[in-house]
Structure 1
């Protein structure tokens, strides 16, 4: 069938792009007519009824035909293989990603439905806290995990809320619990600083940090972890798997809780140094105010603790903490929480510490209370308790000021010598304690309670107290002349006086006043060394007491608090005293105390008459003997100096009618003191303490014997241990001691 004479329909391709033009190869010149029917063969070859396809352009460079959509398949098989591998990886990755996201969402949903009510997550401490109050009821120290109470994201100071978000997670209110951008940035920073991808910056959101704070919902189990520290270390792991679990838990929290609820948990669980858990406890600890009332500068300082609580704690280094706070203020301004004027004011007026915070948690006194109190209320407490203590802040400041004054004015700057001070009432209530030259400390060696040092002549009042209780009197006579004692296992021992001189017959009053050694040894041996040891022990000297006659010269070791307690027993009339620092213990929120005073006056050790006579003799030590530097012009002061062999320890312990105070001085490594005796710097420190302590207090007379100055003298122990006669003083030496004790001393010690 011929198609001549029939017009061909226009092809679609022709309509769209125009019909291809034939190249004019044999057109007649000037006619413009094409050569004879060049497209006819193609028309003939087309099947009846089919559309004519436009001619294809030949491939460039002789290449083969293109692929789908007019593309071309590369001839290079390596390129084709690479493209196939990339495509395969992509298909695998996006499928795995989709599955992983689905699994994470399912796991997070499971976490969400298993999470407890938000108010059960606020306080996660495994142990309680101890809050200490002074005699005026003012808080001065905290120990244990201090909580302070719940703060809410809405009720807390906006300054604090803004500081936390600006510092820790500026996109907190926008993300879903995890910030991929933050994680990527943290990894980049860690790698650029030469650390592992998970070491250092974590890129964690506040939600993730909260998940870590609650240990992903795993409670503390003492059977599984050795202690709380091990438990918390486990919670802070930064392995890849731990990060994955943390992210799942964080997303679950976002599903269950609102942003403000998550922030509330975070603000109540974060550790902020000095044993504080949560921002309320930290605000009370450092500033003495509620977290609802903090200023921008204070809020910035609190938020700055989140990075490194111990390092940036203002009680450790206030300047460093203030510098860190300035950085936080800059972030708050940058993110629009503070305007330029507010930021400038916060930087110009940085946060400072409260008076209680400046006292460094009560220092040595608070440490002593925690170590001496019952374990179930201190170290092992699971509840919050309040200790009403015996500390008097006025007296504590007096002791610290006196210490500082003497060391600044009387001691070389290069000296490493140390000192300790204890002040207590006659009933044993400790009013002040300084355990070393550095008074702004916590948890360090306390020389007032932990240092066992030889007491030297400060021990002699217990020797004289024993003798007085057995019948001797202040005006009895004892011989100060050469003495040799054969000590079993040691051989001959010859005590000497400090000045290497002998004075012949002296009264007990004079012997104690001048701190003569030989009369003290004679008296101790006459009264019985066992009796001396018992009196000293009953007065509270609990350390091992020397067995030989050197006991009388303070060869035994004791702590300062024990010695001051012993002198308090003398002042109160001869009854034993147990030093104490706790008046009562109450659970927080309760009104009835759990327990009362843990010390005080005990049983009688020596008679009241003997105590009164001993106080009189010790008064003469300060009035005209070795302790004159300790005296006060308008208060009666009694006491005793003490210096050990080689001057390794120097003491002065004394009292007024109101307070007993003791001072020790020496080196921690037992290096001998240079030019220091108990009559020197220790007596001066005592003086400076008591001047401040007694300031404004009406002078009271000491409870002592006030003898007739015309009284005679009675001869006591002589060189050969026999009675030399009897005068007309107050009482004579009992005959039983002349005959029985003196004979026994001759037989046992070979007294010459």
Structure 2
């Protein structure tokens, strides 16, 4: 038989392991034991825990996606509804509740701003790229990437707040520019003065922070992102943001601080304005330039790190920090501007809803002269630490106020103005009105009055005996000499003779509107008045005897309009005394400066006339006077009526007046005073021409004797 179908045995026997091969059944049994080992690691407790966790996760997932879906739908509906309420972005540019007032000096140059300034609409495309980049770098560096809310920014802000020990929503808020714009718009709620106690209360409510407000802010921001482009949102923000100094919007701030358009700002200036967004009132350069420059340097650093400035450009910006314009740096005429605002119609000044331009009488050169004069005298002649105050008014003979200083601090807004608001006793500065009355009734500068002990019985007050400052008497003196030495007894005698009522009327007609004393002390300045009133009354003497109403406003018109709504509210009024009497009085007052109590006020290059005034216990010291060109008044004293030490009207006030007028008249050709010029006498002692008035006598008889002799 053949073996071809059979398998041939191997030539070499296979190697066998030392251990006997396991049968197949054993191998299968071993393979089946593996899952049995896994089942042994699952005890009932583990299985139960795992089942519970899996069930909880399934429940959370089921609830979570449904809640998320519901929230998304609600937010979507809220965003959609808010979207429908948003106006066109161009209607959102000017959000001020009141208008602005821009004040111009007599040359038409801006010197002060009041109210809420809005320089005009700017856009994200037309402003300086430096300002645009500075705002984005400072406020929202992912502005062009988020949908109105920036989760990364919010998480970063919460982390910073927690690290610094605050609550997660306290301090840094992570708000985007869009969210800040939503707050500026107060989520579409407009200011209604009938519903709010004040505009400040409305703004405070809009800025209030809570979880609900943050949610509302986020919805409004996302609606804005859906309605407007990024540049349109940035445009609204740049026009509505408050930037300090009363400026709303980038254009107003650029004009306010730098006197230029927002399109022309350099990197340092753009950084300074952007830096104001965090704390506009505190960081305003008009409040503290150094602090504002320090903040701007931080902004420049942010711009460099974010690639908006090269290292070289950043170094240039840091080496040349932004400086205020000349007008903003001077902050000229703060007291004057406040006075004009207070004296103008309220609906066009303090409470205006329009943008108003007011042209004024202010002369900035004279304003600087007055401020420098005051500082010079206080620095050189007043002891350190003194709380004494002073005020200055400079005006033309028609009452146009050219300069006003209401206190030692000159760079102020809304401060107490001692030139217009302080009613103080005038002392001997009132005496010219006593002699003006006598001159108008026919007396002359060389009429004689007897300076002697003199007493009056005052009903309700008893016997009153005025005394001269020197406690001496000088016998027969002319009216001119009595005024030159500021003698009290002759002034009272003349006042009693011509009649107190007439003296009061003359003073009132000259513009002293304060209540005038009813007793004989009227002649010695027992009444109170303001420095502005007294300066205006002296201007009436200079202009030849006509009354004067001091004024600072010459023209008021709305921004963009050509026709003014109103003109000057003051000037020369009716005649009070005849020109002849005024010329004699000016002569008498010139002698006060030329060798009298006001000799410290004498000017070396031109004629001057004036009068000193010192009240009881030296609580007030005055000097008022004039040249042919200008009238100036100076008051000095303490706000709390503390007596001055060693100061009279002929002392420091006269020196302040002198320093002021020297500076005021720089470059002004000297002119003679419009006064009587008596023929020189050989005998220096005046010869009595007329009988002296007799106090208590018949006034008509005394006048006739004065005119016709005995």
Structure 1 residue corresponding to 2:319, chosen from 343, 348, 361: 348
Match of 1:322 in 2: 293
Structure 1 residue corresponding to 2:446, chosen from 475, 479, 492: 475
Match of 2:126 in 1: 155
Distance 1:136 1:59, change over 3 A: same
Hey, what's the Cα distance between the residues in 1 that align with 2:700 and 2:122?
81
Structure 1 stretch 266-275 or stretch 188-197: which is displaced more?
188-197
Residue 237 of structure 1, CA deviation: 1.1
Structure 1 gap segments, 5+ residues each: 1-27, 43-52, 66-72, 739-752
Match of 1:715 in 2: 691
Whether the 8 Å contact between 1:642 and 1:678 is mirrored in structure 2 is yes
Hey, what's the Cα distance between the residues in 1 that align with 2:652 and 2:116?
40
3-state SS of paired residue (2:490): helix
Match of 1:435 in 2: 406
Residue 478 of structure 1, CA deviation: 1.2
Matched, 1:381 2:352: yes
Match of 2:115 in 1: 144
Residue 684 of structure 1, CA deviation: 0.8
3-state SS of paired residue (1:263): helix
Distance 1:347 1:732, change over 3 A: farther
Whether the 8 Å contact between 1:140 and 1:361 is mirrored in structure 2 is yes
Whether the 8 Å contact between 2:333 and 2:405 is mirrored in structure 1 is no
Hey, what's the Cα distance between the residues in 2 that align with 1:97 and 1:691?
80
Matched, 1:581 2:552: yes
Whether the 8 Å contact between 2:268 and 2:321 is mirrored in structure 1 is yes
Matched, 1:114 2:75: no
Match of 1:201 in 2: 172
Whether the 8 Å contact between 2:333 and 2:403 is mirrored in structure 1 is no
Whether the 8 Å contact between 1:472 and 1:716 is mirrored in structure 2 is no
3-state SS of paired residue (2:160): helix
Distance 1:649 1:80, change over 3 A: farther
Deviations 1:577-597 (A, max 9, x none): 111000001111111111110
Whether the 8 Å contact between 2:450 and 2:476 is mirrored in structure 1 is yes
Match of 1:22 in 2: none
Match of 1:57 in 2: 35
Structure 1 stretch 693-702 or stretch 265-274: which is displaced more?
693-702
Residue 111 of structure 1, CA deviation: 1.7
Q: What TM-score do the two structures reach when normalised by structure 1? A: 0.88
Match of 1:621 in 2: 592
Distance 1:720 1:561, change over 3 A: closer
Structure 1 residue corresponding to 2:23, chosen from 27, 35, 43: 35
Whether the 8 Å contact between 1:472 and 1:732 is mirrored in structure 2 is no
Structure 1 residue corresponding to 2:570, chosen from 568, 577, 599: 599
Deviations 1:623-642 (A, max 9, x none): 12111111111211000001
Residue 84 of structure 1, CA deviation: 3.8
Hey, what's the Cα distance between the residues in 2 that align with 1:417 and 1:563?
20
Deviations 1:519-556 (A, max 9, x none): 11111111111111111111111111111111111111
Residue 712 of structure 1, CA deviation: 5.3
Residue 54 of structure 1, CA deviation: 6.0
Match of 2:655 in 1: 684
Q: What TM-score do the two structures reach when normalised by structure 2? A: 0.93
Distance 1:471 1:107, change over 3 A: same
Whether the 8 Å contact between 1:429 and 1:600 is mirrored in structure 2 is yes
Whether the 8 Å contact between 1:715 and 1:723 is mirrored in structure 2 is no
Residue 345 of structure 1, CA deviation: 1.4
Hey, what's the Cα distance between the residues in 2 that align with 1:731 and 1:411?
50
Deviations 1:409-440 (A, max 9, x none): 11112211111100000000000001111111
Matched, 1:635 2:606: yes
Residue 689 of structure 1, CA deviation: 0.8
Residue 87 of structure 1, CA deviation: 4.6
Structure 2 gap segments, 5+ residues each: 1-15, 682-686
Hey, what's the Cα distance between the residues in 1 that align with 2:547 and 2:143?
64
* Aligned positions of 1:441-456 closer than 5 A: 441-456=412-427
Distance 1:323 1:64, change over 3 A: closer
Matched, 1:554 2:522: no
Match of 1:501 in 2: 472
Whether the 8 Å contact between 1:178 and 1:205 is mirrored in structure 2 is yes
Q: What's the C-alpha RMSD, in Å, of the aligned pairs?
A: 2.4
Residue 717 of structure 1, CA deviation: 1.6
Hey, what's the Cα distance between the residues in 2 that align with 1:82 and 1:370?
74
Residue 76 of structure 1, CA deviation: 6.9
Hey, what's the Cα distance between the residues in 2 that align with 1:648 and 1:211?
56
Residue 31 of structure 1, CA deviation: 8.6
Hey, what's the Cα distance between the residues in 2 that align with 1:41 and 1:336?
72
3-state SS of paired residue (2:214): helix
Whether the 8 Å contact between 2:482 and 2:490 is mirrored in structure 1 is yes
Structure 1 residue corresponding to 2:617, chosen from 630, 643, 646: 646
Hey, what's the Cα distance between the residues in 1 that align with 2:486 and 2:252?
53
Matched, 1:221 2:192: yes
Deviations 1:659-691 (A, max 9, x none): 100011111111111111110111111111111
Deviations 1:354-413 (A, max 9, x none): 111112263111011101111111012111111010000111111111111111111112
The 4+ residue runs of structure 1 with deviation greater than 6 A are: 39-42, 722-726
Match of 1:14 in 2: none
| Alignment: residue pair count | 690
Whether the 8 Å contact between 2:498 and 2:699 is mirrored in structure 1 is no
Distance 1:93 1:701, change over 3 A: same
Hey, what's the Cα distance between the residues in 2 that align with 1:109 and 1:720?
92
